[in-house]
Amino acid sequence: MNNTLSREKIASQIFSVLQKSGAGEKDKAVLDIGCSEGIIANYLASKYKKVVGVDIDTPAVESAKRDYKKKNLQFLEMNGEKLTFLAQSFDIVVCNQVYMYFKNPEKLFQEIRRVLKPGGICFLGAVNKYSWTAITHPEYSYKLWWELQRLCVGFTVTSYSPYVVRSKYKALQWVPNGLVSFLAPLLPNFVWILQK
């Protein structure tokens, strides 16, 4: 239950960033890569016309199919490095905290670019290589700010990390915008919008 509430809160934050980036219109088709048990995809299905969640974890996908049934929501077992969708199929791709699990993150980002429509966007939530999470899980391939920038070739990258930090930690409202933006590469998590 706590996991569900936590992921629903994360889904709300994702939608808030999507709205702020101008992608809050209901008529969008959304792909959630690494959807796990479907909690975030299910939340987004109440906001958008069509949502497809994909994951390679068979039990998680089966759980999502069992727990969340909506006409505009679909779950598929699929690898983000080998998406079977036609090119330019989605307006929005959500790639939240999953890039580090892929053997070939370059291929993941190529696939995201391929399935996005022209002008489409990707919400990228990414753990910093020097965060506590990354330090305590060295088995995964976490990246630094600059390494992630290189993976995002072909996208226009806009950082929403300062916006998320300020909305999460109200005490930071007094910190100047320039300082928060300057420190963004050092934050434990990055929140970016990638536009094709």
* pLDDT tens for each residue of 133-192: 888 998 999 999 999 999 999 999 999 887 777 776 666 677 777 777 787 788 888 999
Instruction: Tell me how far apart the alpha carbons of residues 151 and 112 are, in angstroms, rounded to a whole number.
Output: 11
Domain extent at residue 10: 2-195
Position 1 pLDDT exceeds 60: no
Which pTM does this prediction carry? Answer: 0.92
Position 83 pLDDT exceeds 90: yes
Residue 92 contacts residue 62 (beta carbons within 8 Å) = no
| CATH number reported for the structural domain that contains residue 13 in this entry | 3.40.50.150
The distance in angstroms from the start CA to the end CA of the chain is 36
pLDDT for the residue 170:
65
Look at the alpha carbons of 139, 144, 150, 156 in this order and tell me if their dihedral is positive or negative: positive
Instruction: Tell me how far apart the alpha carbons of residues 150 and 143 are, in angstroms, rounded to a whole number.
Output: 10
* pLDDT tens for each residue of 3-48: 777 889 999 999 999 999 998 889 999 999 999 999 999 999 999 9
* pLDDT tens for each residue of 179-193: 777 877 888 889 999
Domain tally, the chain = 1
pLDDT for the residue 5:
73
Structure-token pair, residue 95:
């790639």
